[in-house]
Amino acid sequence: MVLKLYAVSDGPPSLSVRQLLHQLEIPFELINVDYGKGEHMTADYAKMNPQKEIPVLEDDGFYLGESNAILQYICDKYKPDSYMYPRDPKSRALVNHRLCFNLSTYYANISAYTMAPIFFDYERTEFGLKKVNMALDVFETYLERLGTSHAASEKLTIADLQLFNSTMTLEAIDFDFRKYKKIHTWYNNFKQNYPDLWKISEDAMKEIKYFIANPPDLTHLNHPIHPARQIKKK
Ligand SMILES: N[C@@H](CCC(=O)N[C@@H](CS)C(=O)NCC(=O)O)C(=O)O
């Protein structure tokens, strides 16, 4: 049975999984989950992923959430010798480290500043900005110390995908990160060297920009965590 990916069109973790499947030329069925309609908040969706988060991978009745786990599983099961997820323990540890860093710090700090205020009633604060700069500073240091062209090796790995899509949300809000020279170079090289992958992110970035210009009213979701921003109808 062909792999099924439940993904949201502008969500960084979903984009990374789509990019991996594309890069490894693994056939899959893309099932669009409409965040604005709350399609991920239903009881049926919770059967696939009790966290009610997107993406989810379905592999012949096996359901997996958490994009890092999905990326690792796809490589391990379908392309075990791929450069995208090296097997040598130290090389793999660096990839795993960057994935953990993205999940715990880089994407966490950046998305709270970039994405959350686009969709919900959050302000961009000085404290939030500090956390973004802290994340950028650490990633800059990792790139500098390792000295490789990519985030965890000289080749593209699954870590680049996640870190790239987090960084893309900074570009979406026109956040100037040029002073982080290594990140800036790595980000632009990714665009140039992997135009197919960039196209996937770029389409998402255009959607995010659309929502910046046309803030959505998500009050109907009754989101259990995020405060809705009510848009006055003209
Ligand atoms: N740690 C998860 C995070 C996924 C995530 O945050 N997805 C967002 C969409 S981009 C989501 O589904 N959020 C649920 C919500 O806001 O209700 C992963 O990496 O897969």
d(CA 217, CA 193): 37
pLDDT at position 231, please?
Answer: 76
d(CA 76, CA 84): 10
Distance (angstroms) between ligand 1 centre and the Cα of 53 equals: 4
**229 band by pLDDT with thresholds 50, 70 and 90:** confident
pLDDT digits (tens, 9 = 90+) for 140-186: 999 999 999 999 999 999 999 999 999 999 999 999 999 999 999 99
Contact status, residue 165 vs residue 16, Cβ threshold 8 Å: yes
Tokens at 42, concatenated: 């239903």
Quick check: 16 pLDDT over 80? yes
Quick check: 21 pLDDT over 80? yes
pLDDT at position 230, please?
Answer: 79
Q: What is the mean pLDDT of the chain?
A: 97
- State whether the beta carbon of 67 lies less than 6 angstroms from ligand 1: yes
- State whether the beta carbon of 200 lies less than 6 angstroms from ligand 1: no
Query: The pTM is what?
Result: 0.98
Distance (angstroms) between ligand 1 centre and the Cα of 234 equals: 31
Q: State the closest ligand 1 atom to the C-alpha of 53, by its place in the atom list counted from 1.
A: 12
The DSSP bridge pattern shows strands 56-59 and 62-64 to be antiparallel
Return the number of other C-beta atoms located less than 10 Å from residue 69's C-beta: 12
- State whether the beta carbon of 11 lies less than 6 angstroms from ligand 1: yes
pLDDT digits (tens, 9 = 90+) for 209-228: 999 999 999 999 999 999 99
If you take atom 2 of ligand 1, which residue's CA is the nearest one? 66
pLDDT at position 233, please?
Answer: 64
